[in-house]
């Protein structure tokens, strides 16, 4: 059994899996923050066309996948930033076009279904050393950019408007995140396959964000979770007859499922620590322009029923609503 | 006061959103050291105006200058501090109070350069000013609405801006936090900062406001001392006629509309 783990095939698979599991969640953290968890899926769909072009022209499918993925990511970012309601539908059209076009092109390439399967579901045990080094190189590029530019990328993902008024080039950083996602997809394509690419970017983040209190901890813990899932999934295939890509994703999901109950408890405890706003009321206010019969300042916990009214809160007493307003009160 | 240089200058400003005109013929001048309140009802265009002033809403005509520079050529973003009304800071991946406030230093930092001593000091000082030092490592989404608003203000204060533009800092904030926020801003004003603040009503901010601007239907209706706003008994919104139902006041609320 030990021999299996140390064989050349296994070694290559483990290295490729480890770098993918390490790099993919860094980009995934930014995607989850920007509520674009499914972006990786979309790019994966578009990549099918890229792979098909590679097979058709006899060049490296990985290279053509990267080119098409980056082009697709730029197009997605353009559609998204236009902010139109129809953008959502436009993206769907792009994704379906990518996958359908790819399938037709692959049929034209001749070796159709079999070649495609390796890219759709991963073919980590069939990769060469040069494939491994390409993966390592691309993963390194992703890691360096995603971590070195963390302050900027965090600011843009966390609050785009504020980032713009800080003078950051928001469009540049948004495009950078999309391009990094495209490169991650191209790398993970060989490991888990295009259909499951997004899983390796998102599931580790979903697992780590249950416990983390900060963005950085979420990201680094997700990198750890991704690496562990990738290595465990590949190792498991040495002992049982299972495809490595889906195995990695199942292990990652199992990690999430096992930690979820603890995560719920942790979140509940943190929320319970929010103090009642009522523990500090401005009792010692010097000037109080309110005449009788208003004996006290209304505030949270003052004993009167609070009613949200547009953007302020009215308090109900003596059968009417009481609205603090300018220097006086309106009785509604 | 009239000798102070102009910090914000809007000349014949007009803004359209999605093809619909929102603001027309806006002339506005804020001088250094002034604390100006922008009042008006919902939909009067006050938020649209401050977003145009900080460069988030493009103008369809007219000109906006910050510190004497047209907005299109403005590059010294560290002089400006914007506090948005709604923010996405509590969404998505957890982020800590420190991380969000630290992003307020972006206008002072260059990419790939590590955090300097001055950045760390400014971040810590800003968190202390809003009284959240004991929650510095806490997750923002677990804080109350008032505390989240204070995080937004600390993020802006960390940039040590000369001009503060705040969009309804009191919205959804409990009364105690409203007073805390007013106090924090009063301290900044005392140090010479210029403040433009959108408010639904003056409330706890009343003592620090030098000048009030009342907006209605995308135009400026009044510009002068704050006492003048209430003198005409015009708070910028219409009072609803009393509606009495035997069921209870909660049922009345939906009928009020927005």
Q: How far is A306 from chain B (nearest CA, A)?
A: 10
A115 with A179, same domain? yes
Asked if A310 is an interface residue toward chain B (Cβ–Cβ < 8 A), one would say yes
Give me the mean pLDDT over the A67-75 stretch: 92
Number of domains forming the structure of chain A: 2
Using pLDDT thresholds of 50, 70 and 90, give the confidence band for residue A331.
very low
- pLDDT tens for A300-314 read 555 555 555 555 555
A20 with A147, same domain? yes
Q: Is position A180 within any domain?
A: yes
Could you tell me the residue ranges of all domains in chain B?
A: 6-87+161-256
pLDDT of residue A298: 53
A186 with A304, same domain? no
By DSSP bridging, strand B6-17 and strand B61-66 are antiparallel
A36 with A185, same domain? yes
pLDDT of residue B245: 44
Top-tier CATH class for B6-87+161-256: alpha beta
> How many residue pairs bridge chain A and chain B with CB atoms within 8 Å of each other?
165
Asked if B135 is an interface residue toward chain A (Cβ–Cβ < 8 A), one would say no
Average pLDDT of chain A? Answer: 82
Q: Is position A277 within any domain?
A: no
A60 with A127, same domain? yes
A68 with A203, same domain? yes
Q: Is position A184 within any domain?
A: yes
Q: Is position A182 within any domain?
A: yes
Contacts 24+ apart (CB under 8 A), A203-206: A203/A229, A203/A249, A203/A252, A203/A253, A203/A255, A203/A256, A204/A21, A204/A24, A204/A25, A204/A28, A204/A229, A204/A252, A204/A255, A205/A25, A205/A28, A205/A29, A205/A32, A205/B93, A206/A32, A206/A256
pLDDT of residue A278: 42
Task: Kindly state the tokens that stand for A286.
Answer: 């010097």
Sequence-ordered alpha helix ranges (H) in chain A: 2-6, 8-33, 39-57, 61-81, 87-109, 112-121, 129-148, 150-158, 160-165, 170-192, 197-208, 215-236, 244-272
Residue B16 and residue B58: Cα distance in Å, rounded?
A: 8
pLDDT of residue B253: 46
Give me the mean pLDDT over the A107-129 stretch: 82
Angle at A241 between CA A2 and CA A199, to 5 degrees: 100
Consecutive 10-residue runs of chain B (258 residues): their mean pLDDT? 82 90 93 95 92 94 95 94 90 95 94 92 96 94 91 96 95 88 94 95 91 93 86 47 45 45
A297 with A158, same domain? no
Nearest-by-Cβ selection for A166 from B98, B106, B179: B106
Q: Is position A276 within any domain?
A: no
Strand order, beta sheet including B219-224: B80-83, B163-167, B194-199, B35-40, B211-216, B219-224
pLDDT of residue A114: 76
What CATH number has the domain bearing residue A230? 1.10.3470.10
Q: Is position A301 within any domain?
A: yes
Domain of A307 in residue numbering reads as 285-331
Asked if B232 is an interface residue toward chain A (Cβ–Cβ < 8 A), one would say no
């Amino acid at each position: 059994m030990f021999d299996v783990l140390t064989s050349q095939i296994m070694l290559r698979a483990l290295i490729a899996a480890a770098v993918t599991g390490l790099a993919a969640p860094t980009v995934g953290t930014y995607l989850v923050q920007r509520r674009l968890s499914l972006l990786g899926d979309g790019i994966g769909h578009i990549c099918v066309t890229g792979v098909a072009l590679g097979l058709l022209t006899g060049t490296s499918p990985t290279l053509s996948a990267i080119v098409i993925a980056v082009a697709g990511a730029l197009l997605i970012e353009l559609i998204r930033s236009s902010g139109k309601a129809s953008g959502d539908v436009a993206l769907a059209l792009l994704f379906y076009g990518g996958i359908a076009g790819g399938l037709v092109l692959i049929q034209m390439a001749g070796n159709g279904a079999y070649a495609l399967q390796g890219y759709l579901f991963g073919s980590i045990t069939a990769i060469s050393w040069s494939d491994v080094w390409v993966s390592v190189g691309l993963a390194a590029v992703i890691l360096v950019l995603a971590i070195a530019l963390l302050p900027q990328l965090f600011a843009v993902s966390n609050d785009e408007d504020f980032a713009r008024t800080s003078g950051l080039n928001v469009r540049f950083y948004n495009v950078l995140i999309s391009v990094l996602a495209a490169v991650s997809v191209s790398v993970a394509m060989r490991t888990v396959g295009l259909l499951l690419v997004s899983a390796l970017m998102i599931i580790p983040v979903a697992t780590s964000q249950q416990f983390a209190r900060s963005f950085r901890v979420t990201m680094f813990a997700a990198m750890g979770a991704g690496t562990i899932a990738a290595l465990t999934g590949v190792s498991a295939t040495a002992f049982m007859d299972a495809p490595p890509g889906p195995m990695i994703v199942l292990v990652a999901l199992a990690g999430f499922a096992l930690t979820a109950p603890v995560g719920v408890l942790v979140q509940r405890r943190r929320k319970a620590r929010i103090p009642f706003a009522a523990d500090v009321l401005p009792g010692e206010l010097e000037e109080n322009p309110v005449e009788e019969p208003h004996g006290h300042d209304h505030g949270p916990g003052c004993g009167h029923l609070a009613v949200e009214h547009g953007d302020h809160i009215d308090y109900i007493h003596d059968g009417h609503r009481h609205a603090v307003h300018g220097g006086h009160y309106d009785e509604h | 006061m009239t000798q102070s240089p102009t910090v914000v200058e809007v000349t014949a400003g007009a803004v359209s959103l999605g093809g619909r005109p929102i603001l027309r013929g806006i002339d506005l001048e804020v001088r250094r050291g002034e604390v100006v309140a922008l009042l008006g009802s919902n939909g009067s265009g006050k938020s649209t105006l401050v977003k145009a002033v900080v460069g988030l809403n493009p103008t369809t005509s007219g000109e906006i200058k910050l510190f004497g520079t047209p907005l299109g050529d403005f590059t010294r973003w560290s002089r400006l501090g914007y506090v948005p009304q709604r923010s996405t800071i509590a969404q998505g991946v957890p982020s800590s109070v420190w991380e969000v406030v630290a992003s307020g230093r972006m206008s002072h930092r260059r990419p790939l350069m590590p955090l300097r001593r001055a950045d760390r000091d400014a971040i810590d000082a800003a968190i202390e000013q809003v009284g959240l030092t004991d929650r510095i490592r806490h997750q923002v989404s677990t804080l109350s609405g008032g505390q989240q608003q204070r995080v937004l203000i600390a993020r802006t204060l960390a940039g040590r801006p000369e001009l503060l533009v705040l969009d309804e800092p009191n919205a959804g904030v409990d009364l105690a936090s409203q007073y805390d926020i007013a106090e924090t801003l009063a301290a900044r004003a005392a140090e010479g900062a210029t403040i433009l603040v959108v408010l639904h009503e003056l409330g706890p901010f009343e003592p620090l406001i030098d000048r009030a601007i009342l907006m209605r239907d995308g135009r400026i209706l009044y510009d002068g001392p704050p006492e003048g706003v209430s003198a005409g008994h015009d708070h910028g919104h219409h009072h609803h006629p009393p509606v009495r139902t035997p069921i209870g006041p909660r049922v009345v609320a939906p009928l009020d509309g927005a």
